[in-house]
Structure 1
């Protein structure tokens, strides 16, 4: 019996963009962030961004069995995805690197770019990228470490173990000696 499916079509991968859209229920597709306008309105936040205009950057290898390599960069107005297909076969000239440069709004609708990000980096990174292009930034992680420690010093001591489970950066902050010195001084005095 013949199958009506296209060869190589994977239904779980085809719905990546749709699934990510469902995860971002509060986001209207046309409400992408105009980062340059946002920075003009909030100039003090521009100091928390890198000087080259990069908002987010990561690279890595796709999960096994794939050997493909990808690089993802989100700037103030573009999402740039580069990937290199790695094969163990000796196919001369058939595997070229790929690159997609999308505006924030184009990225929202670009299922190919979203599928490649999902394939190489996973669903969490794709969701993070979709949040970034809609202006949902994690400003806390962009603050200088001394400011982050100062903020954490106001948290209840019993909550620190839970906060340390949120991310690697918060875990390292929760283990910072200066933070624990502040807790000690607040609790026992000098």
Structure 2
């Protein structure tokens, strides 16, 4: 399985908040975690400072809290990538992860995540089912039992038929 992974597993870059213009990069490869930084300043005392880098194996990175504190990996991932990763977790793990932070709670309750989960676990989703899920929310759609969904779909059809009948009259 590891042979299917690319050499670079994750890479992100960022600039420190103003007034600092320092630049940093986090690179995770199959073998190590690399944290690089560049001091960017017009001040004369900072002109001589060289870029720095810290190289650590995955085990060293996990055991070194000072390296981890430099960069909160999970919080800095783009939402789309978080949704993709979280969609592979068990429901219990998603519930626990939603308690970690506000951002993760927002992602764990998002329609995008639950749409991915429904599509991964359910075989086919008809356009009518998709409309209902968008109306009531994908998470609610996922946790609603089949009989209740059938009743709701029947009600939607009856409502649409009544609207179509009123339009034709």
Greater relative CO, 1 or 2 (CA 8 Å, sep 6+): 1
**Greater fraction helix:** 2
What interval of TM-score do these two structures reach, taking the shorter chain for normalisation?
A: 0.3 to 0.5
TM score, norm. by length of structure 2: 0.44
Larger radius of gyration: 2
Structure-1-length-normalised TM-score: 0.41
